[in-house]
Amino acid sequence: MKIIIADHSGFCFGVKRAVDMTISELDADSNKLYSYGPLIHNPQAVKRLESRGLTTLNDYSSLKSGKIIIRSHGVPKSKEEEMASKGLEVIDSTCPYVKAVHKRVEDYSLKGYNIVIIGDNKHPEVVGIQGYSQGDVHTVNSIEDVIALPNMDKICVVSQTTNTKEKFDTLSEAIKEKGEVVEIFNTICKATKNRQDATKEVAQMADVMIIIGGYTSSNTKKLVEISKKYCNNIYHIESIKDLSLQELSKFNTIGITAGASTPDWIIKEAVEAMDKINNNEINNEMMEAIENTFTRIHRGDVIKGEVIFVTNNEVMVNINYKSDGIITRDELSNDPNVNPKDLYKEGDEIYVYVVKNDDGEGNVVLSAKRVEDIKSWDELEESFNNKELVEAKVDRVVKGGLIALVKGVNGFIPASHVSAKFVSDLETFKGETLEVEIIDFDKEKRRLVLSRKEIEKGELKVKRDALWANLEENKIIQGTVQRLTDFGAFVDLGGVDGLIHISDLSWHRVKHPSEVVKAGDKVEVQVLSFDKEKNRISLGLKQTIEEPWVAFTNTVNIGDVVEGKIVNLLDFGAFVRLNNGVDGLLHVSQISKEHVAKPSDVLTVGQSVEVKVIDINNEDRKISLSIKEINEDSNAQEDTKEEVKEEAILNEDSDPTIGEIINSK
């Protein structure tokens, strides 16, 4: 007798999650735990939970306190809100797949869409989905139901997660005729489809199909429907007690599948009961068949799996084992900021590393980053042996250097190897991607030491050679001010530093370079001289602008009145910086026609003044200024006006035209 066990039989992710959450609550708290309706569609499994302290209720109105768990099928939003308003502690074990349908229905109904659900109007899951619509909602389960739908502007179509794909495709295609805009979403659970496909495959090969699952379970009923299409002999049972073992002895090939709410122990119980016939032959074959359907896993194995669900914190993976596997956020990647949804989507096939066979709640603990680590360490070993450069993204600063990611592996860059130049603040490298070489590598000890220094030295040499080859006296080049000293400013020209002496920073006398430039400034400088052997380059900043004396003499003449500011006060006079940028002397005797003992008695540094240029000495480059002459010129003009006015008055009778002119003034 041949036994064939369909893949994906038994608990699905959502049901297992609900059961695990319930057991966890029962183990952690002695207080009463209630379930609103049967937790899952399997009476035997529910009865076991009730024996441990769970109480199943169909009406929670009399409850005033305690914990109440929402079953895997979910409930209408209003029910959940009502539970919370009563002061009950709500534990939501709704299947994440169903929860995703809730959100989609709520979002689209708020956008003005009419919601159409393909499913059983009385099924708890469908009732829950209906309760998330904020507008009109319709449920269809046949072509006749679709025909009865009214015509609508906008329709959002979703499905009960346990539907068959064939039914969904047929009805959703018909619904298209009922709306102007129709958005169709296949919300059938991936695990449901996999289970149905596996059942179909086994039913085509078996003489008899045994479908184990609750009589009210929708997904189990779908397995029965599928089995009937391909096999003539069908037995739908909830447990082995519902099956006549003698009936099975006449069949050569037995196919077995189980609904999503059927626990492993019920399947195994059925197999053990078959020990009564055929001298243990069936039992041995069945037990072997069951074991063969599951992947044998051990800690440290790297196996292939399929992503079945992704949240913001974890990824669920079907590894063809009796339990699904979980990859927690910290086992996804070495990058702590990674979002699981950016890495994987439902249906992706990935390789995973087995961390633990059981996390204490029946789940297999998996790691994706450790698979990548294994691959990355192999690649890094090859790069190290071949002396190849690699890219490293700086993640954080630690004592003594930097931690950087190379192919997802943490490497260490000592502070002395971060750069060929002195670095005062390592924080500036955070987030940067650097090209580095591997200077120390040990795969067994997981040691990876990196260096940027030697690469920079090579890059600097190329820059230096190019700079020296193109350097010319009087050439204008660009650079960056690196540091300041009392005698000048050092400028990085691209691998080589040049010096601007303090005397070449400005045409004016400066006490310190910081009066003209600061570290980090981009400047244009003139090459005054250079010596490659001594590695010296003299630069000039003031030479890149027109000399103030030349600008002054080209635009100002003796006798012109100009503006300036007092920049220095001495006993014999004041120095005035004119707008052209040159300094002139305002002698104490030229400040006022009144006696001035010293300039500070009437002037202050920073004061703006108007002065008259009374002398320009080109040979000594000296300028003499006067405020007094401006005042004298002004007084002289006033005297002239008065004389003209008096003369006009005397001649007014003889010359009325002149008088009119005077009066007009």
- Which of the residues are catalytic? 125
Could you tell me which of 291, 216, 205, 320 has the C-alpha nearest to residue 253?
205
Residue 529, H or E segment: strand 522-531
d(CA 413, CA 398): 10
d(CA 67, CA 133): 27
Instruction: Show the tokens assigned to 245.
Output: 């073992």
d(CA 9, CA 260): 7
3-state secondary structure of 415: helix
d(CA 300, CA 409): 18
Dihedral of alpha carbons 423, 426, 431, 433, sign: positive
Q: How far is CA 149 from the centre of its chain?
A: 44
Q: What are phi and psi of 275, to 5 degrees?
A: -65, -15
Contact call for residues 586 and 575 (beta carbons, < 8 A): yes
Instruction: Show the tokens assigned to 576.
Output: 């005035």
d(CA 209, CA 247): 12
d(CA 34, CA 21): 13
- The amino acid that residue 144 corresponds to is E
Instruction: Show the tokens assigned to 107.
Output: 């979002």
Dihedral of alpha carbons 434, 440, 441, 442, sign: negative
d(CA 115, CA 136): 6
Dihedral of alpha carbons 415, 418, 420, 424, sign: negative
* β-strand partners of 492: 480, 497
3-state secondary structure of 431: coil
Q: What are phi and psi of 627, to 5 degrees?
A: -95, -35
Could you tell me which of 201, 224, 199, 115 has the C-alpha nearest to residue 160?
115
Residues of 645-659 as b/e, b for ≥16 C-beta within 10 angstroms? eeebeeeeeeeeebb
Please report how the helices 96-110 and 13-28 are oriented relative to each other, as an axis angle in degrees rounded to 10.
Answer: 110
Residue with tokens 């071949």, as numbered in its chain: 386
Instruction: Show the tokens assigned to 505.
Output: 């920073």
d(CA 338, CA 329): 8
